[in-house]
């Protein structure tokens, strides 16, 4: 039976559209016959259920557990991995850095995480911050389990993207700003149907999903 992989998507500061990106990245994986358990470890639990309601996807299950204490996180992930074996290929965590720090504090080797994908700005400061944060998860970096994605970049910057930072951190992909999605919280409050993401955004998520499938790696389950 294939081992269920755990991938964490995180950011240093809020504002990169991580939760929305997590959903559409999982949607893209699920469409490629990679069943996903999308887990909200932020404790906010407001955005993902809305996205699931408006964009339901086969092979994508949402789990919003009550916010666990930090010391309980490793055990929570072990239990989740055990319970979805044979049903999901990957557990993708929408997680704040504080949660991942807690996992690292409990296990310096961070064995609970198979890959950590950090969203950052496509700027010199963003890359420096990523290099600095990578040292907090040195065990993952040493095993080539740490990578970057540039968040909300402008369309004209897409063709210029490097494959790694100056400090040799791999850059897996990006997602562009999609202002229809960025402003959709107001539409939900008003009871209006969410707009479909731009195709440019979905294409970027598809490329990121394909890269993760090769790199982690993630397998398709026959029962998907």
Q: What is the domain count for the chain?
A: 1
The CATH number of residue 163's host domain is 3.40.50.300
pTM: 0.93
pLDDT tens per residue, range 155-173: 778 777 889 998 899 999 9
Asked, for residue 220, whether it belongs to a domain, the answer is no
Q: Which residues contact 52 (CB under 8 A, 6 or more apart)?
A: 23, 60, 62
pLDDT at 182: 63
Please tell me the distance from the alpha carbon of residue 14 to that of residue 5, in angstroms, as a whole number: 25
Domain of 181? 5-214
Asked, for residue 131, whether it belongs to a domain, the answer is yes
Please tell me the distance from the alpha carbon of residue 44 to that of residue 31, in angstroms, as a whole number: 26
Mean pLDDT (the chain, rounded): 89
Q: Binning pLDDT at 50, 70 and 90, where does residue 150 land?
A: very high
pLDDT at 212: 97
Residues 5 and 216: beta-carbon distance below 8 Å? yes
For the cut 90, the answer to whether the pLDDT of residue 108 exceeds it is no
Read off the pLDDT of each residue in 165-182 and give the average, rounded to a whole number: 86
pLDDT at 156: 76
The least confident of 29-43, 71-85, 175-189 is 175-189
- Neighbouring CB atoms inside 10 A of 109's CB total 12
For the cut 80, the answer to whether the pLDDT of residue 3 exceeds it is yes
The least confident of 29-38, 103-112, 129-138, 212-221 is 103-112
Q: Which residues contact 214 (CB under 8 A, 6 or more apart)?
A: none
Asked, for residue 159, whether it belongs to a domain, the answer is yes
Q: Binning pLDDT at 50, 70 and 90, where does residue 187 land?
A: very low
Q: Which residues contact 140 (CB under 8 A, 6 or more apart)?
A: 110, 113, 115, 116, 146
Asked, for residue 219, whether it belongs to a domain, the answer is no
Asked, for residue 224, whether it belongs to a domain, the answer is no
Q: What are the Cα distances from residue 46, in Å, to 21, 37, 159, 185, 188?
A: 15, 17, 34, 10, 11
Rg, the chain, Cα only: 17
Asked, for residue 100, whether it belongs to a domain, the answer is yes
Asked, for residue 222, whether it belongs to a domain, the answer is no
For the cut 80, the answer to whether the pLDDT of residue 85 exceeds it is yes
Asked, for residue 221, whether it belongs to a domain, the answer is no
Q: Could you give the 3-state DSSP secondary structure of residue 135?
A: helix
């Amino acid at each position: 039976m294939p081992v269920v992989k755990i991938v964490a998507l995180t950011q240093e500061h809020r504002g990169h559209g991580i939760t929305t990106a997590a959903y559409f990245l999982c949607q893209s994986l699920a469409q490629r016959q990679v069943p996903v358990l999308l887990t909200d470890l932020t404790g906010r639990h407001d955005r993902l259920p809305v996205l699931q309601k408006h964009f339901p996807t086969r092979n994508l299950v949402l789990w919003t557990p009550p916010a666990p204490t930090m010391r309980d996180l490793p055990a929570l992930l072990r239990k989740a991995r055990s319970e979805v074996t044979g049903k999901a290929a990957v557990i993708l965590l929408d997680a704040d850095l504080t949660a991942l720090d807690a996992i690292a504090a409990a296990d310096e080797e961070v064995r609970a995480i198979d890959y950590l994908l950090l969203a950052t700005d496509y700027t010199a400061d963003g890359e420096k911050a990523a290099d600095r944060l990578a040292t907090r998860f040195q065990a993952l970096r040493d095993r080539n389990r740490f990578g970057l994605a540039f968040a909300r970049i402008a369309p004209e910057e897409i063709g210029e993207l490097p494959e790694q930072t100056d400090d040799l951190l791999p850059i897996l992909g990006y997602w562009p700003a999609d202002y229809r999605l960025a402003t959709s919280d107001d539409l939900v409050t008003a009871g209006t149907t969410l707009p479909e993401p731009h195709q440019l955004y979905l294409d970027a998520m598809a490329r990121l999903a394909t890269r993760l499938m090769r790199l982690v790696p993630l397998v398709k389950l026959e029962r998907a």
